[in-house]
Amino acid sequence: MSFTTVNARFMRVLLPLVITCFVLIASVTYYMASEMLMEDAVMVSRCIGNEAALRMQLSVANIHLPLKVACSNHALLEADEEEVLAFLGEIRQSSPLIAQTFFIQPDGQTLRADGVHLDRSSREYFQQVVRTKQPYISKPFLGETTKKMQTMVLQPILEDGQLRAILMASIHLTPLTKQALEGEIFSDGSVYITGENGLVAGASDNPAAIGASAEKIGDPRLAAALREAIESQRQTFTNYRPEGEDLEWCATVTPFELSGNRWTIISSYPQAKVTAPARRLLRITSVVFCAILLLGVLIIRYFARSISAPLENLAHEFRALHDGAEGETDASTSQDEIETLAEGVARMRVIHDQRQHFEKKASSDELTGLLNRYGFRRRVAEAVTEHAGHSAILAFADLDHLKHINDQIGHAAGDDAIATAARLLRQGFGEKAVIGRVGGDEFVIFSCREDNDPNAVEQTLALTARYNEENQLPYYVELSIGVTEFVCAPDMDMYPLMKAADIQLYEAKKHRRDTSIHPPDTPPQ
């Protein structure tokens, strides 16, 4: 017989359970790790957006400052063209980010710093300042001649609340956005600066995107997030897929305002790069788990094989007990070693119960239910050892006139008299006393003094007299009892004690009294 169910149960039950638990735990761990990494990435991208927006505002403010200072000089309104050109040149030299400066009349006629006269009355930025009389920064646009991204910074010159002129500077956005994007910390991400029109004015690591619309650097989801950020003036978050790529990117759109015009910072990063540590953790965990699982399977198989032989021997012995012949086997018996062991244990329990039953029958007297001679000797040997050092009594009791009862009334009456005598002895000496029937009408009693009533003999004789008086049978149940006292000691010889008690019994019979006769103080040895 080959035992395989330990392995089979592990493979069929425990192994799938362990794998399922691992998959669940690994999935939850991966999900939580990915979410934590994504939350950290979103927080970083928000910080990048806020920082880049602040730098952009500070850079534009530094460019706007000389224009504001120049507008406070009302003498410029009375200056001739040469003086205006000189003034425009000074403003142009105030910052390397200023590409060109302009002096615009309220009707749109414009004098450029190089002396060229232009008409800007139709331009959106001019009309915006005329309407609001407030500083303004235009949307980014691609210069017609320079083919570079630019914006216009306009500062009105007011007198008594009336627009008298406008100072304007064109700004190169590439160096401006480069300053704003310094210090961005995404090693694998990209940061874009766009105007309200969605045109990309600057990019941290993708120069080809400058001048393109937001829809060109991502799918419609990014353009929708940009519009939502501008309209709500709150940071928005979205996923998108860059043009020509298969990976999903995540982006945070941060809106900010520059003198009446809204711009945005788009900080984006590849989702796969962010969650890469979580995937590495999952791979490492999976490899370790597979190694541990393989080791566990090998250990289980090793121990299963090591216990196969003992299990086979046990199963063989159990079947021998069941079949009644050593070495005989039953082909119908299950090959499951656990079931075989369970069956064997059940059979052993039955055998144990049967053994106890037979031992009880072999140790007890069928008529009275008391111990027989064999059972009494064994139980007294145990009791003497258990009560070592304590005083005890050994009593012999004899049912008087049993022969007369048997001859005159019948053996059934004699059996009743014996059973009655046994019951009266049990009542008189108590349940803790060890009582046995050692002959036809002879009884022997062992009782430890601490468990025994000192008047047990007298009580027994009194119970006997009361029984005869109350029942009015055609015979009397009369007992003669002899008692000897001793101190319990392990392995003591009980024969002299029983002999001494027997002598006391016959003394009682000799005097024909229903009483107990006690020996001298010195117990027999």
Q: Are residues 257 and 190 both part of a single domain?
A: yes
Task: Return the CATH number at 494.
Answer: 3.30.70.270
pLDDT attached to residue 373: 85
Q: What is the residue range of 136's domain?
A: 83-172
Q: Are residues 24 and 87 both part of a single domain?
A: no
Mean pLDDT of the chain: 81
Q: Is residue 245 very low, low, confident or very high in pLDDT (cuts 50, 70, 90)?
A: confident
pLDDT attached to residue 443: 92
- 457 in any annotated domain: yes
Query: pLDDT tens for residues 80-95?
Result: 889 889 888 988 888 8
User: Averaging pLDDT over each range in 69-73, 211-215, 422-426, which range is the top one?
Assistant: 422-426
Picking from 101, 104, 216, the residue whose alpha carbon sits closest to that of residue 150 is 101
- CB count within 10 Å of CB 465 equals 14
Q: Are residues 100 and 182 both part of a single domain?
A: no
- 142 in any annotated domain: yes
Q: Are residues 266 and 372 both part of a single domain?
A: no
Q: Are residues 376 and 410 both part of a single domain?
A: yes
Residue 454 has pLDDT above 80, yes or no: no
User: What residues contact residue 480 under an 8 Å CB cut-off, 6+ apart?
Assistant: 397, 398, 400, 505, 508, 509, 513, 514, 515
- 522 in any annotated domain: no
Q: Are residues 409 and 451 both part of a single domain?
A: yes
Interval 105-133 mean pLDDT:
92
Task: Return the CATH number at 199.
Answer: 3.30.450.20
Picking from 504, 476, 352, 363, the residue whose alpha carbon sits closest to that of residue 413 is 476
Interval 244-261 mean pLDDT:
86
Residue pair 460/425 in contact (Cβ under 8 Å)? The answer is yes
- 523 in any annotated domain: no
Residue pair 393/475 in contact (Cβ under 8 Å)? The answer is no
Q: Are residues 358 and 347 both part of a single domain?
A: yes
Which residues share a beta bridge with 253? 236, 266
Residue 174 has pLDDT above 70, yes or no: yes
Residue pair 504/483 in contact (Cβ under 8 Å)? The answer is yes
Name the domain boundary from 137, 172, 207.
172
Least confident of 74-78, 137-141, 184-188, 413-417: 184-188
Residue 146 has pLDDT above 80, yes or no: no
Q: Are residues 352 and 212 both part of a single domain?
A: no
Query: pLDDT tens for residues 299-316?
Result: 777 776 676 667 667 766
Name the domain boundary from 172, 189, 207.
172
- 411 in any annotated domain: yes
Least confident of 142-151, 191-200, 317-326: 317-326
Q: Is residue 11 very low, low, confident or very high in pLDDT (cuts 50, 70, 90)?
A: low
User: What residues contact residue 472 under an 8 Å CB cut-off, 6+ apart?
Assistant: none
pLDDT attached to residue 131: 92
Residue 119 has pLDDT above 90, yes or no: yes
pLDDT attached to residue 332: 42
Tell me the HSE value of 53 on the side-chain side, using a 13 A CA sphere.
24
CA dihedral sign of residues 189, 41, 50, 261: positive
Residue 463 has pLDDT above 60, yes or no: yes
Picking from 121, 115, 103, 229, the residue whose alpha carbon sits closest to that of residue 167 is 103
pLDDT attached to residue 336: 60
State both tokens at 106. 């309220």
Interval 489-497 mean pLDDT:
80
- 15 in any annotated domain: yes
Query: pLDDT tens for residues 120-134?
Result: 999 988 999 999 999
Q: Is residue 279 very low, low, confident or very high in pLDDT (cuts 50, 70, 90)?
A: confident
**Count of domains forming the chain:** 4
Q: Are residues 384 and 508 both part of a single domain?
A: yes
Q: Are residues 460 and 381 both part of a single domain?
A: yes
Name the domain boundary from 134, 157, 172.
172
pLDDT attached to residue 127: 92
Query: pLDDT tens for residues 341-364?
Result: 677 677 777 777 777 666 666 778
Query: pLDDT tens for residues 375-428?
Result: 888 888 888 888 888 888 888 898 888 888 888 889 999 899 999 999 999 998
Q: Are residues 200 and 258 both part of a single domain?
A: yes
User: What residues contact residue 63 under an 8 Å CB cut-off, 6+ apart?
Assistant: 95, 97, 98, 153, 169, 171, 176
pLDDT attached to residue 327: 44
Percentage of the chain surpassing pLDDT 90? 13
Q: Are residues 381 and 316 both part of a single domain?
A: no
pLDDT attached to residue 236: 93
User: Between the CA of residue 443 and those of 372, 436, 459, 517, what are the distances in Å?
Assistant: 9, 6, 16, 16
Least confident of 9-18, 214-223, 472-481: 9-18
Residue pair 270/247 in contact (Cβ under 8 Å)? The answer is yes
CA dihedral sign of residues 373, 374, 378, 379: negative
